[in-house]
Structure 1
Amino acid sequence: MPALTETRRKSAWPWLAALWLLVVLGLGWQQAMFWQSPRLDSDVLALLPGLDASPAVATASERLAGQGTRQLVVLLGHEDPARARAASLAFAASLDGDDRLRALPADATGAEALATYAAFQRGLLTREQRLALEQGDPAALANEALARLFAPGVAPRWAADPLGLDTGWWQARAGQGPRFAEGWLSLRADGRHWGVQRFELVGSAFALDGERHLQVRLDRAFAAARAVAGDGLVRMQAGVPLHAEAAAVQANREVATIGLGSLAAVLLLVWLAFRSLRPIVLVALSLAVGVAAGVAATDLVFGSVHLLTLVFGASLVGVAEDYGIHYFASRQQSDTPPRTLLRQLLPALALALATSVLAYLALAIAPFPGLRQMAVFSAAGLAAAFLTVVLWFPWLDRRAPRHSRFSDRVAATLARWPRWPAGRAGLVPALALGAFLVAGLLQLQPRDDLRSLQASPLALLESERDVGRLLDLPSPAQFFLVSGATPEDLLQAEERLLDRLAPLRAQGVLGGWRAVSDWLPSMARQQADARLRAAVEEKVLAAASATLGETLVPAPDPSAWLEPGTALAWPALSPLQPLWLGEQAGAWHSLVLVSGIGHESLGALAALHAPAEGVAWVDRAADYSGLLAHYRVVMGWLLLAGYAAVILVLHLRFGRSAWRAWLPTVLAALSTLALLGWLGMPLQLFGVLAQLLLLGFGVDYGIFLLEHRGDPSSWLAVSLGACSTTLSFGLLALSATPALQGFGLSLLVGLALVWLATPLFRQRPASPAPALHH
């Protein structure tokens, strides 16, 4: 019966190898199609789950996210206004006809907008005008009106607007932001005249070839502008496409650094250990198949691949090679035929694969799209590399690799490796280690910051802040969501909110705001302002009539009022249309965006949160940071459950010796966390996730040593695998993304400690270790 089973295995093996060949050919075709037009994503929020928000908040967030994803702003400044204007025109001319950038037209001119509002002027008062009319003395106002009567150009329209209120409302709004005149949009700030230009990206910002295509175009246009204006020209720029391109270029560089660095290290280790071209080629083949499978699986499941997934996945090279290295290490030290040897190794290899894949898939438990991408990428890649080794290596490997001094010396170190002292002798180092761990863990501080997932260049971030300051751009991550039963109720709720924001602006707590009701007052406010104005003007004209000795007739009451249904369609109000969310779930909603927000102003703005009055303060950055904190705690408990599950599984396989494979990883994990505390580095979600992977990988080393007690070839495979895995994840510490940087550093330290600690708790060999061949 055993002979029949063995015959069936031999007959099934070629068919499985051929089937895997077809799968790999399909992967090759899929990769060729994918990289012709890669579906890549760099949006940080795409890594995170959707917040548990109301439909109105979700709609608002989508509206704000989609509003400017393809737009960028360029400011050119010079002390001489003529040179600033010439530079702006030269900059625009250089990009005219560009196939990637389309210039956006300037907003409606002041004259056009003023004409649009002319019929509604009597119902439009500024906050200051309203206060002056309510508190002003009629006699003083009458004297002010008479003084205006004799001003040049005022007399023909004086009776219709004796107090000069008509243009005040519009001038207060026209003074906000840049002005369009003489063919260019400009503003004056910081001692310079700035030309403001807006562009929209045509096509994709992603070209993962390491080149800054968009930035090169802007640099070329700036050179043309400088040729006209001279060296005093200054440029500022901002926009999502610039960040997207910078992220793509950074990802390309990091994929090359981490992926190629890992591959070079792995191949060097293979060469030093086996001194043969065949192991290098076959291990490289398993790695290539693994990475291709990771990209294909991620694209198939999610429809795109995030750039951070590619950077994270580049470290897969240092993990997927373990199976091939373990095979060749055993092959080097044994005369057993390839297929027989692989069947002997298969239980340990399969158990190691299972623990690693489970560690990766544990990342997918949290509803983070980014983590799930990384989990699918890595699990699929490891499984593909494993199948390549199991199904192909026995057929492609016809001769055992040569021995080398390097491999023999590494393998021989196991016999000389110390063991943890037994009894009282081990108490002193145990107490010292315990003191180090406790003191370090007590200093460990959690920190959950959304910015840890961002890696935009510092110069671009500073330029973005300067553009936002000069243009008084509101924050898209923090805003007020205003609600009302009808459009009129909604506008009145906005006005009450703006009345409460005005003192904060006067105190310098915030820079300003952008709201629909600033340009489209409620019907109630228009009518109240019109009545107030008419009552005051009647008294002023009565006093003026007595002084002039003639009867002055006030202007007639307004015959029309501004209404949302018609006013929001005007070109002058087109920039406000994204703020008007319309009706949803039986209520009307709008956004009020605020600018000039600092850390000191967040508390004051949050204090205005009043759902009963239809005002909700939304801070997406704080919400996401809270979400990261929540899942850091959840994944921490999951990590503890994982350690409990692993010791149970190991006990089923190894009985009372299971702790020998489990304890080194526990000590390495605690030491890594304690070291973070000693160094003053924060614990973030990605740090907890690193501990999950450390559990999956670290236990593998103990499994191999328990499965093959005292076997030098097994220790050689563990050492080579630990070295390449540690280096691969350690290279993540070079990433510009803080989260990946901390992730890589944690695994660099943790994996090195596991490798050092595992032999300390190994069993004593049941029989003398086999002699090494020289």
Structure 2
Amino acid sequence: MRRPARLETPQWLALAWLLVVVALGWHQWRFWQAPRLDTDVFALLPQDERASIVQRATRQLGEQGERRVVVMLGATEWRVAQMAASAFDQSLTAAHAGLRRAGDGAVAAQALDFYRPWRDALLTDAQRAALRAADVQALVAQALERLHGLNTGQPTAWLADPLNLWPTWWSQRAGLTAARPRDGLLWVADGQRDWAVLLYDIEGPAFRFDGTRRWGDALDEAGRMARICVAADGACAPITVLRAGVPVHAEAGAAQGSREMNTIGWGSLAAVIALVWWAFRALRPVVLIVLSLLIGCAAALSVTVWVFGQVHFLTLVFGSSLIGVAEDFGIHYFTSRLASPGTPRWPLMKHLLPGLLLALLTSVLGYLVLAVAPFPGLRQMAVFSAVGLGAAFLTAVCWFPALDFGTLPGSRMASAVAASLTRWPTLEGRWPWPLLALFAIFCVWGVSRLQVNDDLRQLQSAPPALMDEQMAVGRLLQMPSPAQFFVVQGATPEAVLQREEALKAHLQLNAPAKTGSPGLSALSDWVPSGARQAENRQITAHVEQQVLAEVGHALGESLHRPAFNAAALDLQAWLASPASGAARSQWLGQVGDGYASVVLIRGLASRAQAQTLHALGEQVPGVRWVDRANDMSGLLGRFRVTMGWLLVVGHLVVWSAVALRFGRAAWRAWLPTALASLGCLAVLGGLGEPFQLFNLLALMLLLGMGVDYGIFLLEHQAKEQGHAWLAVLLGALSTGLSFGLLALSSTPALHAFGLTLLLGLALVCLLAPLFRLRPLGTHSDQSQV
């Protein structure tokens, strides 16, 4: 009665795994109807627990502009720029691409109405100084001139603003951007060209991952139509079209990621199919191995979404290379079938299971070490890859013995490759030592030439032309940088506003004359502190009452200044009004026991100027300088050092795991990967490739995958060793092709990752046979070596 039970065990395993696969299929169907995919590069970055306030500031500043697209059309004549802008807007409207022209007129009127009750409390620094030393008689003469018809365009009644103070205050608020209204458009001049500025808001989500360039294609077509319109008018010089905005970059990055994912994923799959067919000359191994890969990727995606709530597009690009790794289990099974064609399927799998489990363990350890680093993106990649490998392994173990029927013909080339191991030398005698000495010299030379690069831009994959346009728009519009700013903290909102005012005054007073004080954009520009409002109210009341008395005496009338809101303009009321739309994201709200805001900087021209601002700004209590790009680059460098030590620890852990199986012979499985890692670094140094965190991460995965090849060669002896060598070569070729395609990625981090693994796997494949044992026939013999 026991024999049938043992035979049915694989069937129960197959059925149980079938239920899991059905659940995965249902989740995949649900997921791809509304995929939760992230394209934000900053989501990949380390989370510094000491900089939570900086992360909040970065997130809010990013959210402010994530739905806005800016287009600038430049020509040598304003008339031509107007014509181009009209043609551009008409083309974009007709395309129905989900870009809606932004209109700020209604918002401006609402802001004017909101501020009107506090007109007497709003003064510029120059107005405050002028009113303190005011010549009342001169002000009376000016007030009379405006009263007699020269007040056209004043935003309020003459009696409510007899000194015409408010237009100047509003003009300074408008100075926060270089664009000015002109003929129904926004206009900027740079001395050579007149630029028409068009603002668009996107409809729908800002981040999409469908592989299309809906907005980008529509903007390209609109630019083409604008150029045709200008050329038809006979304009001498062509127009220049610039585009900027988070949606444009996000769409370009998503489209590029989709292309790379398809290229890497399908390219890897095609390589695996070709190699499996070439080796086994049967459709069954191709179908089963591809099935294990598809199930592995589906399980990886489902578990990643379940754990993280969404998946980053770079995780998918990276995960698509999993196809080149997860097929090793299936290849190893079918090469063993070639070596032992008469062995029943399930006993054969049971015989292979210890080696396959050890290979899975070492590979998963290599992936999971990535999760130690506090990179959200790397943690996703680690979980994705580890789960994908595990699912592919379970598919092979549970289904292959049940679905593998019939004979396996194999190919003469596969037999020749298996037999070639007998002609591969081993490290015996004296001949290897000169070769190893040359290898050591090469490693020392190459590693000494490595140049470290922790620049944050290695994560940037946007097209260079688009980045140039973004920078040009920011320079022309004098847009503040979202990467360099001040964070101002205080116990109360009032304290924050007062410290902002102190910061602006300190920089204005102490900035070097040769660089000047940069433009600052602060909440206190829009909502002065309560103390500053009270002081302004006293100044305006004192001077305006004198002027009105003199003007009333000259006119023979009794003029009375209207009452304004006696209460101070409240920050919370401002935040809740449409007037705060331009700067609302700069208020961070309550942070810990206090409150915080962001002061943005415009016109930052050099690194030296940034260093000066850093030194001056932090002399003001409660003010902190933030250079996001520099901080993140420093953090990448610190984690590069940490991951270097973790790589050393990983080698010790993997060697210990292998030693549990092979005893004193474990070094033969581990050492080829260690030498290959050194050789890979030497090659990178010789090629002049920058050394970064992602090279180390690739070496961590090389540890997990490379040791597998040594394990397979130690696990099998006698006639099985040749077919184990065939499995090693097939696995190395498919993995190398997979990560070789990853090296073609235009994202520098992925390029470095792929190139490092490609070189490392090639070296492991060359070195592993040198350290194998000569066939001894029994496991007990090899454990004594």
- Between the aligned partners of 1:420 and 1:80, the Cα distance in structure 2 is 78
- Aligned partner of 1:732 in structure 2 is 742
Matched-pair contact (CA < 8 Å) for 1:647–1:658: yes
Pair 1:669-2:670 in alignment? no
Q: Would the alpha carbon gap of residues 249 and 190 (structure 1) be closer, same or farther in structure 2, given more than 3 Å must change? A: farther
Pair 1:491-2:488 in alignment? no
- Aligned partner of 1:47 in structure 2 is 44
Identify which of 593, 601, 604 aligns with 2:612: 604
Q: Could you give the per-residue CA deviations for residues 691-712 of structure 1, whole angstroms, max 9, x where no partner exists?
A: 1111101111111111113521
- Aligned partner of 1:343 in structure 2 is 350
| 1:528 Cα deviation after fit | 4.5
Q: Could you give the per-residue CA deviations for residues 129-180 of structure 1, whole angstroms, max 9, x where no partner exists?
A: 556677x8x8xx7998799799898898999999986644433333443233
Pair 1:16-2:13 in alignment? yes
- Aligned partner of 2:690 in structure 1 is 682
- Aligned partner of 1:80 in structure 2 is 77
- Aligned partner of 1:772 in structure 2 is none
Identify which of 333, 339, 348 aligns with 1:333: 339
Q: Residue 205 of structure 2 aligns to a residue in which SS? A: coil
Identify which of 264, 279, 292 aligns with 1:286: 292
Q: Could you give the per-residue CA deviations for residues 580-610 of structure 1, whole angstroms, max 9, x where no partner exists?
A: 3344544332221112334333312221353
- Between the aligned partners of 2:331 and 2:542, the Cα distance in structure 1 is 92
Instruction: Map 1:337-416 to 2 at 5 A.
Output: 337=343, 338-416=345-423
Pair 1:194-2:195 in alignment? yes
Aligned-pair Cα RMSD in Å = 3.7
- Aligned partner of 1:103 in structure 2 is 101
- Between the aligned partners of 1:161 and 1:244, the Cα distance in structure 2 is 47
Q: Residue 746 of structure 2 aligns to a residue in which SS? A: coil
| 1:377 Cα deviation after fit | 1.5
- Between the aligned partners of 2:208 and 2:594, the Cα distance in structure 1 is 43
Q: Residue 583 of structure 2 aligns to a residue in which SS? A: helix
Q: Would the alpha carbon gap of residues 287 and 165 (structure 1) be closer, same or farther in structure 2, given more than 3 Å must change? A: closer
Matched-pair contact (CA < 8 Å) for 1:505–1:511: no
Matched-pair contact (CA < 8 Å) for 1:31–1:292: yes
Q: Would the alpha carbon gap of residues 273 and 57 (structure 1) be closer, same or farther in structure 2, given more than 3 Å must change? A: closer
Task: Tell me which amino acid in the other structure corresponds to 2:240.
Answer: V
Task: Tell me which amino acid in the other structure corresponds to 1:727.
Answer: L
Q: Could you give the per-residue CA deviations for residues 312-341 of structure 1, whole angstroms, max 9, x where no partner exists?
A: 111111111111111221212323333332
- Between the aligned partners of 1:156 and 1:349, the Cα distance in structure 2 is 90
- Aligned partner of 2:626 in structure 1 is 618
Q: Would the alpha carbon gap of residues 75 and 341 (structure 1) be closer, same or farther in structure 2, given more than 3 Å must change? A: same
| 1:292 Cα deviation after fit | 1.7
- Tell which deviates more after alignment, 112-121 or 332-341: 112-121
Matched-pair contact (CA < 8 Å) for 1:472–1:511: no
- Aligned partner of 1:446 in structure 2 is 452
- Between the aligned partners of 2:562 and 2:435, the Cα distance in structure 1 is 92
Matched-pair contact (CA < 8 Å) for 2:668–2:771: yes
Pair 1:750-2:760 in alignment? yes
Matched-pair contact (CA < 8 Å) for 1:332–1:400: no
Q: Could you give the per-residue CA deviations for residues 328-364 of structure 1, whole angstroms, max 9, x where no partner exists?
A: 2121232333333222222211211111122112212
| 1:625 Cα deviation after fit | 2.4
Task: Tell me which amino acid in the other structure corresponds to 2:663.
Answer: G
Q: Would the alpha carbon gap of residues 305 and 489 (structure 1) be closer, same or farther in structure 2, given more than 3 Å must change? A: closer
Q: Would the alpha carbon gap of residues 587 and 391 (structure 1) be closer, same or farther in structure 2, given more than 3 Å must change? A: closer
- Between the aligned partners of 2:32 and 2:162, the Cα distance in structure 1 is 70
Matched-pair contact (CA < 8 Å) for 1:67–1:578: yes
- Tell which deviates more after alignment, 434-443 or 289-298: 434-443
Q: Would the alpha carbon gap of residues 540 and 262 (structure 1) be closer, same or farther in structure 2, given more than 3 Å must change? A: same
- Aligned partner of 2:781 in structure 1 is none
Instruction: Map 1:2-151 to 2 at 5 A.
Output: 4=2, 8-53=5-50, 56-96=53-93, 98=96, 100-106=98-104, 124-128=122-126
Q: Would the alpha carbon gap of residues 211 and 510 (structure 1) be closer, same or farther in structure 2, given more than 3 Å must change? A: farther
Matched-pair contact (CA < 8 Å) for 1:537–1:554: no
| 1:659 Cα deviation after fit | 0.8
- Aligned partner of 2:185 in structure 1 is 184
- Between the aligned partners of 2:516 and 2:417, the Cα distance in structure 1 is 65
Q: Would the alpha carbon gap of residues 369 and 160 (structure 1) be closer, same or farther in structure 2, given more than 3 Å must change? A: closer
The TM-score normalised by the length of structure 2 is 0.87
Instruction: Map 1:249-328 to 2 at 5 A.
Output: 249-328=255-334
Q: Could you give the per-residue CA deviations for residues 436-469 of structure 1, whole angstroms, max 9, x where no partner exists?
A: 2233333334332322122011111111111111
The TM-score normalised by the length of structure 1 is 0.88
| 1:190 Cα deviation after fit | 4.8
Q: Residue 699 of structure 1 aligns to a residue in which SS? A: helix
Q: Would the alpha carbon gap of residues 343 and 181 (structure 1) be closer, same or farther in structure 2, given more than 3 Å must change? A: same
| 1:520 Cα deviation after fit | 3.0
Q: Residue 598 of structure 2 aligns to a residue in which SS? A: strand
Matched-pair contact (CA < 8 Å) for 2:304–2:311: yes
Q: Would the alpha carbon gap of residues 356 and 115 (structure 1) be closer, same or farther in structure 2, given more than 3 Å must change? A: closer
- Tell which deviates more after alignment, 495-504 or 456-465: 495-504
Instruction: Map 1:683-702 to 2 at 5 A.
Output: 683-702=691-710
Q: Would the alpha carbon gap of residues 142 and 734 (structure 1) be closer, same or farther in structure 2, given more than 3 Å must change? A: same
Task: Tell me which amino acid in the other structure corresponds to 1:261.
Answer: G
| 1:258 Cα deviation after fit | 0.9
Q: Would the alpha carbon gap of residues 79 and 108 (structure 1) be closer, same or farther in structure 2, given more than 3 Å must change? A: farther
Q: Would the alpha carbon gap of residues 200 and 53 (structure 1) be closer, same or farther in structure 2, given more than 3 Å must change? A: farther
- Between the aligned partners of 1:173 and 1:154, the Cα distance in structure 2 is 28
Matched residues, number: 757
Q: Residue 630 of structure 1 aligns to a residue in which SS? A: helix
5+ residue gaps, structure 1: 769-774
Q: Would the alpha carbon gap of residues 333 and 188 (structure 1) be closer, same or farther in structure 2, given more than 3 Å must change? A: same
Q: Residue 32 of structure 2 aligns to a residue in which SS? A: helix
Instruction: Map 1:521-536 to 2 at 5 A.
Output: 521-528=528-535
- Between the aligned partners of 1:747 and 1:640, the Cα distance in structure 2 is 17
Matched-pair contact (CA < 8 Å) for 1:360–1:379: yes
- Tell which deviates more after alignment, 192-201 or 654-663: 192-201
Matched-pair contact (CA < 8 Å) for 1:91–1:224: yes
Matched-pair contact (CA < 8 Å) for 1:103–1:199: yes
| 1:255 Cα deviation after fit | 1.2
- Between the aligned partners of 1:526 and 1:323, the Cα distance in structure 2 is 73
Percentage of matched positions with identical amino acids: 49
Task: Tell me which amino acid in the other structure corresponds to 2:65.
Answer: G
5+ residue gaps, structure 2: 152-157, 779-785
- Aligned partner of 1:704 in structure 2 is 712
Q: Residue 37 of structure 1 aligns to a residue in which SS? A: coil
- Aligned partner of 2:154 in structure 1 is none
Matched-pair contact (CA < 8 Å) for 1:51–1:624: no
- Between the aligned partners of 1:397 and 1:153, the Cα distance in structure 2 is 98
- Aligned partner of 2:654 in structure 1 is 646
Task: Tell me which amino acid in the other structure corresponds to 2:745.
Answer: S
| 1:227 Cα deviation after fit | 4.9
Matched-pair contact (CA < 8 Å) for 2:507–2:617: no
- Between the aligned partners of 2:62 and 2:334, the Cα distance in structure 1 is 52
Identify which of 477, 480, 496 aligns with 2:483: 477
Q: Residue 608 of structure 1 aligns to a residue in which SS? A: helix
- Aligned partner of 1:634 in structure 2 is 642
Matched-pair contact (CA < 8 Å) for 1:510–1:594: no
Pair 1:721-2:731 in alignment? yes
